[in-house]
Every structure is written in C-alpha cells, then in structure tokens.
Structure 1
C-alpha cells in the first residue's frame, strides 16, 4: 500500500507541473490569437481591453476545463489497472 501512495504522491506533483505548464501555454496561445484577430480586423477599440475581455471569456470556456483531464485520465487509468489486477 505504501508504494502505491508514494506513486500517487509523485504522480500528483508531476501532474500539477504539467497542468500549470499546459494552462500557461494555452492562455498564451489564446492571447496571441486575440491580438492577431484584433490586428487583422483593424478594430478601433483598445487592444488591451479587447484581449482582457477575450481572456475572461476563455477562463469560463469548456476548453479551459478540459485541461483538468491531465489529472483525471492518469488517475483513472491507475484505478482501472488496480481494479483489473486485483478483482478480475
């Protein structure tokens, strides 16, 4: 049992690092797309305000929430493997 807990602890640390990196990368990509869209369309509004509004919408989007699968998929796979190996 102790090796499993140690594995899960290390896995959670690694997953947290990966989650933060993916979140930062995804936000930077979205920000650059918003800036390119503003420039391409030739909008007259303030660019920073436009980008802030777009990032606020992004924060509430399903795409942002899908990044949480970084936690769910590996932990689910380990739980499934433990179940199959012990009870089937």
Structure 2
C-alpha cells in the first residue's frame, strides 16, 4: 500500500521540476519578445518599465495558467487508467 504513495510522491516531484523549468522558459521567451518589440517599434518609454509591465500582464494571462496542464494531464491519465483497469 505504501509503494503507490511513494511512486505518486516521486511523480509529483518530477512534475514540479518540469513545471518550474517550463514556467521559467516561457517567462524568458516572453521577456525576449517584449525586448524585441520595444526595439523594433522604437518606443520612447523606458525599456525596463515596458518589460516589467508586459511581464506583469503575462503573469495574469491564460498562457501562464495553461502551464498547470503539466500536472493535470499526467495525473488525469493515471486516474483514467486506474479506473479503466479496475471498473471496465
């Protein structure tokens, strides 16, 4: 009975590492896009302030929330497999 809990804990640790890596990568990509947009448009506002505002918008966006699918999809697939194997 303890083995499935240990495996679940290990899976959560791995998924957390994947979530952090994907989140940091996505934020870095967004930051570089904001810097590139600022440079291409030749905006008069301070670049750092522009990037900060853009990242603040990104933090509340749906894209950031979609990264949570890193947890939902594997755990949902495991739950579905357990259900199918036991009750069908």
Q: What secondary structure does 1:43 align onto?
A: coil
State the 1:4 CA deviation: 1.5
Q: What pairs with 1:22-33 in structure 2 (closer than 5 Å)? A: 22-33=22-33
Matched, 1:67 2:47: no
State the 1:87 CA deviation: 0.8
Query: How many residue pairs end up in the alignment?
Result: 88
For normalisation by structure 2, the TM-score amounts to: 0.97
Segments ≥4 residues shifted beyond 2 Å: none
Distance 2:6 2:30 in 1: 36
Listed as ranges, the gaps of 5+ residues in structure 1 are: none
Q: CA RMSD in A?
A: 0.6
Q: What pairs with 1:1-88 in structure 2 (closer than 5 Å)? A: 1-88=1-88
